[in-house]
Amino acid sequence: MKRKAQAQHPMLKAGITGGIGSGKTTVCKMFEKLGMPVYYADDQAKYLMQHEHFLIDQLKKNFGEDVYANGKLDRKLLAGKVFNDPARLALLNSLVHPAVFRDTERWMEEQKEKKVPYVLKEAALLVETGSYKALDKLIVVTAPLDTRVQRVSERDKTNEEEIMARVKNQLPEEEKVKLADFVITNTGSLEELEQQVLKIHEQMIEENSKLAV
């Protein structure tokens, strides 16, 4: 009985990614407005670094007890320890990403209760980390670099140099687009963006209905 009930409510897993300032978060808010649950991997990574004991132990072991001062992660200190050191940065990622992956799996299981047609996982480095492979569909949000830099400098009150340093850690958009099931081009108004989201939403429901037989 139970198995049948599950088959009638299959849940697709979609990933959503794009370069910094492409509009990922804005797009996710639109999906949430349509009632779709979103897992924000980058925010959740920060949460886990503060609350998941196994991860905390590993970070202390590899980067020093001092990265936690009075039980609180000293982000600046940790960032300083990996800054300009690709091997140390890779080590940090190799500890954080599996923790996020485990947490995503747990979250996805929880969402099944909601009987929604699909859920979304948002992450800036979804392709870079390979975690998109565990998902059914990939949505990539794109916008030209100059538009992205302009948007982020307004959003974060930061300068172009800092933004470009973050862009350099990300794969070029073209590479992500090659892997995408859906591409959102965020060069117009928010209304135009919403139209694209709605279209994908309908297609995802359609994809889901093919499974529910």
Residues that bind ligand ADP (CB under 6 A): 18, 20-26, 151-152, 155, 186, 189-190, 193
Containing 118, the helix (H) or strand (E) segment is strand 118-122
We find the least distance from the C-beta atom of residue 147 to ligand ADP, in angstroms, to be 9
Helices (H), the chain: 2-8, 24-33, 41-51, 53-63, 75-82, 86-111, 145-156, 160-168, 173-179, 190-211
We find the least distance from the C-beta atom of residue 188 to ligand ADP, in angstroms, to be 6
Nearer to ligand ADP, 96 or 167 (CB): 167
The residue written with tokens 């747990």 in the block is 106
Nearer to ligand ADP, 33 or 61 (CB): 33
We find the least distance from the C-beta atom of residue 167 to ligand ADP, in angstroms, to be 11
Nearer to ligand ADP, 23 or 117 (CB): 23
Nearer to ligand ADP, 22 or 58 (CB): 22
* In contact, 196 and 184? CB cutoff 8 Å: yes
Other beta carbons within 10 Å of 151: 18
